[in-house]
Amino acid sequence: MDYEKESEMLKALGHPVRLKMVEGLMKNECNVNKIVDVMQIPQSTASQHLGILKNRGILVARKEGVKTCYKVVDEKVLQIVKILRA
């Protein structure tokens, strides 16, 4: 068990904004701007949190023209969020 790496992942999820982002992106892949609107946070703040989630390998980004589409790709993260919902 790699505690360093695994706790990094949990720490990334351990922020209300990021947790909400991940949950939102599980339902709806391409909604970066929507997230900014819905969450009522500055664009730079949103972008930084998305960057953290991407660096941890929780999200991947795909460019679609001028827009960026984020998607949750970490299988364990998907399971963890499902557990939280239960």
Partner DNA sequence: TTCAAATATTGTATTATCTGGATAAAGTGA
Partner DNA sequence: TCACTTTATCCAGATAATACAATATTTGAA
Site residues (vs a copy of itself, CB under 8 A): 1, 3-4, 6-20, 23, 76, 79-80, 83-86
Nearer to a copy of itself, 16 or 65 (CB): 16
Q: Which of residues 55-74 bind DNA (CB under 7 A)?
A: 61, 63, 65-68
Looking at residue 57, the DSSP 8-state letter turns out to be T
Question: How many residues contact DNA, by CB under 7 A?
Answer: 24
Nearer to DNA, 18 or 74 (CB): 18
d(CA 4, CA 26): 25
Q: Is 18 exposed, middle or buried (0-12, 13-18, 19+ CB in 10 A)?
A: buried
Tell me if 34 sits within 8 A of 28, measured CB to CB: yes
Nearer to DNA, 38 or 42 (CB): 42
